[in-house]
């Protein structure tokens, strides 16, 4: 996997700037050339949009809130938690920058950030269960029914085909589920049963996240191999209310 990651970095734009020390820089030099900031509200409190950039002559990969971005610039809207009374709770994140120097040296730098308030609300983009579409009603998939939760407008019993921009955007899918039983056990695969992406996944009633990976996009998107993302229950039951992603 490390080799694959290095190859992914190598596919980025080549670095032409001369670097001392045989083609690599130090972590301190990397940090000095890097900016990780959060926007502010009218009162000067940290908002929920984190912006990252580096002018260091490296190929960069950012981990922002558990989602990876490749490139020397990245930004992401973050979640901010709140208590039962609706008051915001400061939410801490650690932004991780992984950099590959021209000589192959790998560096890693961490930047702690805190988001206090929502300055740019996350928007929901529904794949299924849009409240405005009454035909997209909650349903209970049966155990070992591989068709029930296949994201295919032609082969799935309920779920539509996921668009390529969602796949190749590596979106984090959010599943709103209820009535989850203690013996719930889920397999995430493609519709051809040729690859398993996550196995023995345990969900609880509420919101559960599923990160689309590059492999999933390559194999499931219509612009890839077109095998369709497929979720199948081994055991237990639940009610699937909606599937969406936020940006």
pLDDT in tens, 12-23: 443 444 445 558
Buried residues in 207-219 as b, exposed as e (16+ CB within 10 A): ebebebeeebbeb
C-beta of residue 227 within 8 angstroms of C-beta of residue 191: yes
Residues 196 and 187: their CA atoms lie apart, in Å, by: 7
Query: Is pLDDT of 30 > 70?
Result: yes
CB atoms within 10 A of CB 144: 11
Which letter does DSSP use for residue 194 in this model? Answer: S
pLDDT at residue 67, as a whole number: 85
pLDDT at residue 14, as a whole number: 39
Residues 110 and 165: their CA atoms lie apart, in Å, by: 29
pLDDT in tens, 188-238: 999 999 999 999 999 999 999 999 999 999 999 999 999 999 999 999 999
Residues 246 and 206: their CA atoms lie apart, in Å, by: 16
Residues 128 and 153: their CA atoms lie apart, in Å, by: 11
- What are 73's strand-pairing partners? 53
Average pLDDT over residues 112-124: 95
pTM for this one?
A: 0.74
Do strands 124-128 and 239-246 pair parallel, antiparallel, or not at all (unpaired)?
antiparallel
Q: Give the 3-state secondary structure of residue 130.
A: coil
pLDDT in tens, 45-99: 999 999 999 999 999 999 998 888 999 999 999 999 988 888 999 999 999 999 9
Residues 211 and 246: their CA atoms lie apart, in Å, by: 12
Mean of pLDDT over the chain: 90
Instruction: Give whole-number Cα distances, 158 to 61, 148, 189, in Å.
Output: 36, 6, 17
Which class for 100: exposed (0-12), middle (13-18), buried (19 or more C-beta within 10 A)?
Answer: buried
């Amino acid at each position: 996997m490390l080799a694959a990651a290095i190859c992914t970095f190598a596919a980025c734009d080549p670095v032409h700037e001369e670097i001392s020390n045989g083609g690599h820089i130090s972590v301190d030099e990397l940090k000095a050339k890097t900016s990780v900031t959060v926007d502010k509200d009218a009162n000067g409190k940290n908002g929920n949009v984190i912006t990252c950039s580096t002018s260091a002559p490296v190929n960069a990969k950012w981990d922002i809130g558990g989602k990876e971005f490749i490139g020397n610039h990245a930004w992401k809207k973050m979640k901010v938690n709140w208590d039962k009374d609706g008051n915001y709770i400061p939410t801490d994140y650690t932004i991780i920058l992984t950099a590959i120097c021209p000589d192959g040296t790998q560096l890693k730098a961490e930047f702690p950030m805190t988001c206090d308030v929502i300055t740019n609300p996350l928007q929901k983009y529904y794949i299924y269960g849009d409240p405005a579409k009454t035909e997209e009603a909650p349903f209970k998939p049966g155990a070992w029914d591989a068709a029930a939760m296949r994201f295919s407008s032609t082969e799935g019993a309920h779920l539509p085909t996921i668009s390529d921009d969602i796949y190749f955007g590596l979106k984090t899918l959010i599943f709103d589920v209820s009535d989850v039983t203690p013996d719930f056990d889920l397999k995430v695969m493609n519709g051809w049963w040729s690859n398993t992406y996550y196995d023995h996944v345990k969900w609880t009633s509420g919101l559960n996240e599923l990160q689309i990976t590059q492999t999933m996009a390559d194999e499931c998107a219509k612009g890839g191999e077109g095998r369709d993302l497929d979720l199948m229950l081994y055991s237990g039951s639940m009610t699937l209310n909606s599937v969406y992603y936020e940006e």
